[in-house]
Amino acid sequence: MFAYILRRLAATIPVMLVVAVLVFLMLRLTPADPAAIIAGDNANAEQVAEIRKRLGLDQPIMTQFAIWVTKLAQGDLGESFFFKKQVVELIADRLEPTVSLAVLTIIIAAMIAIPLGVIAAYKQGSWLDRIVMGFSVLGFSVPVFVIGYLLIYVFAIQLNWFPVQGYQRLSQGFGGWLQRLILPAFTLSVIYVALIARMTRTSVLEVMNEDYIRTARAKGQTEMKVLVRHALANAAVPIVTVVGLGIALLIGGVVVTESVYTIPGLGRLTVDAVLARDYPTIQAVILLFSLVYVVINLAVDLTYTIFDPRIRY
Amino acid sequence: MSLTSRAASALLSHLRMGLSRAVLALSALFFLSAILSAGSAHAEKTLRVVMHSDVKILDPIWTTAYIVRNHGYMVYDTLFAIDANGEVKPQMVDKYDVSADQLTHTFTLREGLLWHDGQPVTAEDCIASIKRWGAKDATGQKLMSFVASMEATGPSSFVIKVKQPTGLVLVGLGKPSSNVPFMMPKRVAETDPNTQISDFTGSGPFVFKRDEWKPGDKAVYVKFDKYKPRSEPASGLAGGKVVKVDRVEWRAISDHQQAINALLAGELDFIEQPPHDLLPLLKADSNITLIDVNTMGNQYVLRPNWTAKPFDDARIRQAMIYAFNQEDFLKAVIGDPEYYKVCKSYYPCGSTNYSTKGMDGLLESNFKKAQDLLKEAGYDGTPIVLMHSTDLQVLTNLAPVAKSLMEKAGFKVDMQSMDWQTLVARRAKKDPPSAGGWHAFITNWIAADIGNPIFQAFMNSACDKALFGWPCDAEMEKLRNDYALETDPAKQKAIAELAQARAAQVVTHIPLGQWFQPSAMRKNIAGVLPAPAPVFWNVEIK
């Protein structure tokens, strides 16, 4: 297994290189000019050119790329054009809100979706099954920001149960942290509840007619044990895959959710950086997201060995 | 009951119990956190504000961005400032004298002025600051072209000698908008003007908390306890800058609707620029007050590119100014007449230099005249590339109106939609419009930036040295120079009128109307000062 992990990690290097090249080129091909944005509306051409020179944007693209990759290889993500802060510092500052949101979202989604999926499978064809599946379709169809605004209107403005926006660091208190994250996490979890519930239902349905389920019942085990220990455990591999993919997909979700709820996480950093054409920050964040995606996929593959001992690497 | 039903019931029961416990636990946490937060809210007076943009850059000389100018007014002080009537008043300066020949200007600083690090403000600091500003700002550059020398004559006094009499000394040092001549310590002001400063020590009424600055989240300013306000009452950007709160937090909320939701919910105290289409939401709430801080408002303008054919022909540009009318533009964006004003002047209505000279017959949608001009100039139907900004609500609807009016006049218009930042990059290009260049775009100026021919960046007609659009007109440059050298206000106004008439004749740009942007605040906030830039001294939380 150790050799397998090493091989997989080694395989991330070319992936990251391709991502690096693509991100770098795509940014340079977009029409906007960070120097003009930084200079402001009253700046003349000379001032813009001076800033461009300071940022190194007057050099050929290949030279810029070589400088960036060389620094990257040394672990230097560069300095933000705008904030005059090291990008690594910016990212470190934004990591906690995003990780908090992502983890809470997945916990909420899994807590709701897996039982719902199991119940829907057990009650296949019943009204409960139809409601769960109907909700799934709705969850897939409604955009995250619409759900966000609806929840804000009801729970923050009308009922005044939660704050409208903002984030409180975990170090400032668990209560405030949770209070500010509940609505965003519920907002973001809707699509994952739909996704995981559907996958759980399908997977459980597939195993419910297996011999070992019949055997377990014949041994006199309670339905709960049959359901959890035998059915759910054997249906876990595809569910774990979906949850893993969900974490990766969250990257896209947090961008919108963080913007709606004004959470200073990596999602908002990405939006701000893109709007301002802050090349070093965009490049670093996208590389980080790619790395997270690759690592999560690896982690998902490794968890297969836990749920299915037949799988060996 | 079947086995499956029992299992489902058991699972549902577990779920219900789990959910009930979770709800109870969460409720307890919320109460606890609410009690804790209520306790801390009384500890200090914090003003929670949403500005029009997040502060990304902290050097108000390095960039002309308005948000950085606003940051500058928090942290730095100025030698002079304009009051609510637009008059230049001493601010850091205690005594100011000008010699009889108007060539020697003497300044003495107020006693007790301190930098945030506790060091006294000196004349050397001010000279270094003026030099840095003068190297970067267009008005500053103009002023410095008249300056023979600047010398400290004591710890808190200095002299500026000019080569010829000019009214630009006070006008420049009291410039209210970007770039504002903010005073910085000598060690900071000696930074290359093209390099951002990294030391944010000022002598203004607030201290910038660099350790609490989270770009994209918030910028924090705390009261500078050792700041010595002037004795006069606060007026505009001048007078006593008395701070009545302990702390001001600029929160970065990019979503307008969310900012308004937060204001309504009491999570914020002040929003600088709520969009006009959401104002009814705010008006309907009895806890909210709308206030017009920038009473002179803003002006929409269309900027033609003189270097792009056929706009190199004045008659083609004139056809636009005849085809346009301001009401159509203002209705399309602002909508409510309470917040806009048809103002056929290059200077804001209500300002010192306001005039209608040279504007007769213009901006009245005289399509016949426009068509005649196009015919006379031999317009061949070349598509006019009109850049359309789509992501800034205050600009989005303008370009379609321009397109419609221009087409009625006989122009063929190629309106190209893009985000503002793309437009900003593209407007700097002199390429032909068919190869990534442009013919025209519409933008906005705040009134403080267009009060006279020197401040009006679009009147600068110095060809390649002018702003994008690059008008080239020696007569206009002569008038701007005359204005800078004139010291008599009445004569200055006469020159400003001539400059306006010239701008309309050669069409450096086209004014598309004046509009006003109210700010929104909760009813318990008082003391917000009308001024060209939003400032937070004198503001109190009741």
Q: How far is B519 from B117, CA to CA, in rounded Å?
A: 33
Which amino acid does the sequence have at A47? Answer: Q
Among the candidates A42, A73, A104, a domain finishes at A73
ipTM exceeding cut-off 0.90 for this assembly:
no
Residue B253 contacts A where some CB pair is shorter than 8 Å = yes
pLDDT at residue B29 in the model: 45
Contact B467 A42 (CB under 8 A): yes
Residues A68 and A91 in one domain: no
Same domain flag for A53 and A164: no
Distance CA B435, CA B336 (A): 39
* pLDDT reported for residue B535: 97
What is the tens place of the pLDDT at every residue in B414-440?
999 998 878 887 888 889 998 889 999
* pLDDT confidence band for B382 (50 / 70 / 90): very high
Helix (H) or strand (E) holding B444: strand B440-446
pLDDT for the residue B43:
66
Tell which CATH architecture fits domain B66-292+520-541. Answer: 3-Layer(aba) Sandwich (3.40)
Q: Which of A29, A38, A41, A88 to mutate to test the interface with B (most CBs of B within 10 A)?
A: A41
pLDDT for the residue B433: 94
Q: Cβ–Cβ contacts within 10 Å for residue B194, how many?
A: 14
Q: Which of B11-20, B396-405, B439-448, B488-497 has the lowest mean pLDDT?
A: B11-20
pLDDT tens profile B48-96: 999 998 888 899 998 888 899 999 999 999 999 999 988 999 999 999 9
Do A200 and A117 belong to one domain?
A: yes
- Cβ within 8 Å, pair B264-A157: yes
| Average pLDDT of the residues in B105-134 | 97
Domain positions in chain B: 66-292+520-541, 298-515
Q: What is the pLDDT of residue B327?
A: 97
Closest Cα of chain A to B537: distance in Å? Answer: 26
Domain that holds residue A227: 87-307
Q: What is the mean pLDDT of residues B528-535?
A: 94
Domain annotation covers residue A81:
no
Q: Which of A50, A73, A96 is the last residue of a domain?
A: A73
Q: What's the pLDDT at B14?
A: 45
Q: Do A223 and A138 reside in the same domain of the chain? A: yes
Q: How many helices (H) and strands (E) does chain A have?
A: 14, 0
CB contact under 8 Å between A44 and B195, yes or no, is no
Same domain, residue pair A135 and A20: no
pLDDT digits (tens, 9 = 90+) for B485-531: 998 999 999 999 999 999 999 999 999 999 999 999 999 999 999 99
Same domain, A192 and A288: yes
Using the beta-carbon criterion (under 8 Å), do A37 and B251 form an inter-chain contact?
no
Chain A residues in contact with B11 by the CB 8 A cut-off are 115, 118-119, 122, 224, 227
Q: Running along chain A, 313 residues long, what does each successive block of 10 average in pLDDT?
A: 82 86 87 79 77 87 90 88 86 92 92 92 89 89 90 92 92 92 94 91 89 89 85 84 80 82 90 87 91 85 78 71
DSSP B305-362: -TTSTTTTSHHHHHHHHHH-BHHHHHHHHT--GGGEE---SSSPTTSTT---TT-TT-
Q: Could you tell me if B363 and B344 are in contact, meaning their C-beta atoms sit under 8 angstroms apart?
A: yes
- How far CA A289 is from CA of A66, A258, B143, B279, in Å, comes to 22, 16, 50, 39
Q: Which residue has the higher pLDDT, B286 or A225?
A: B286
Nearest CA in chain A to B219: A83
> How does DSSP classify residue A227?
I
Interchain contact, B426 vs A31, CB within 8 Å: yes
Residues A125 and A197 placed together within one structural domain of the fold: yes
Looking at every residue in chain B, the average pLDDT score rounds to: 90
What is the structure's pLDDT at A249? 75
User: Is residue A276 domain-shared with residue A199, that is, in the same domain?
Assistant: yes
Which CATH class for the B298-515 domain? alpha beta
CB-CB neighbours of A281 under 10 Å? 27
C-alpha angle B489-B495-B496 in degrees, rounded to nearest 5: 85
Q: Would you say residue A312 lies in a domain?
A: no
pLDDT of residue A42: 66
In a domain, A78, yes or no: no
Terminal Cα distance for chain A, rounded: 5
Q: Does residue A104 share a domain with residue A69?
A: no
Nearest CA in chain A to B54: A272
Q: CB contact, 8 Å: B267 with chain A?
A: yes
Q: What angle do CA B347, B340, B516 make, to 5 degrees?
A: 75
Q: What mean pLDDT do residues B218-247 have?
A: 97
CA B490/CA B352 separation, integer angstroms: 10
CA distance A211 to chain B (A): 17
pLDDT band (50, 70, 90) for residue B15 = very low
The answer as to whether A143 is a domain residue is: yes
Decide which of A48, A73, A98 is a domain's last residue. A73
Query: What residues of A are in contact with residue B419 (Cβ under 8 Å)?
Result: 32, 275
Contacts of residue A166, Cβ cutoff 8 Å, sequence gap at least 6: A180, A261, A262, A263, B251, B262, B267
Whether residue A38 is found in the same domain as residue A125 = no
pLDDT in tens, B322-341: 999 999 999 999 999 999 99
A19 is a domain residue: yes
User: Does residue A92 sit in the same domain as residue A59?
Assistant: no
Q: What is the pLDDT of residue B34?
A: 44
Say which residue the tokens 């199991």 belong to. A118
Tally of domains within chain A: 2
CATH number for A215: 1.10.3720.10
Residue A238 shares a structural domain with residue A134: yes
Among B3, B36, B214, the residue with its CB nearest the CB of A93 is B214
Give me the pLDDT at residue B48, please: 97
